[in-house]
Amino acid sequence: MKKILSREDGSRQTMEILKKYAFVLKKRFGQNFLIDPHVLDKILQAARIGKEDLVLEIGPGIGTLTQHLACAAGRVIAVEIDPALIPILKDTLQAYPNTEIIHSDILKIDLEKLIQEQNQGRPIKVVANLPYYITTPIIMDLLEKRIPLTSMTVMVQKEVARRMCEGPRSKDYGALSLAVQYYARPSVAANVPPNCFMPRPKVGSTVVQLDVYDKPPIRSIDERLMFQIIRASFNQRRKTLVNGLKNSPELTLEKEEIQSALEKCGLSADVRGEDLSLEQFAKLADIFAQK
pLDDT tens-place string over residues 158-174: 999 999 999 999 999 99
Which band of pLDDT confidence, cut at 50, 70 and 90, is reported for residue 264?
A: very high
DSSP character for 11?
A: H
pLDDT beyond 90 at 180: yes
pTM of the model: 0.90
pLDDT at res. 11: 64
The residue ranges of every structural domain in the chain are 7-212, 223-290
Which band of pLDDT confidence, cut at 50, 70 and 90, is reported for residue 14?
A: confident
pLDDT beyond 60 at 9: no
Which band of pLDDT confidence, cut at 50, 70 and 90, is reported for residue 198?
A: confident
- What CATH number has the domain spanning 7-212? 3.40.50.150
What average pLDDT score do residues 181-192 get? Answer: 97
pLDDT beyond 70 at 1: no
What average pLDDT score do residues 226-234 get? Answer: 95
What architecture is the 223-290 domain classified under in CATH? Answer: Orthogonal Bundle (1.10)
Listing DSSP states for 224-286 in one string gives HHHHHHHHHHHHTTTS-HHHHHHT-TT----HHHHHHHHHHTT--TT--GGG--HHHHHHHHH
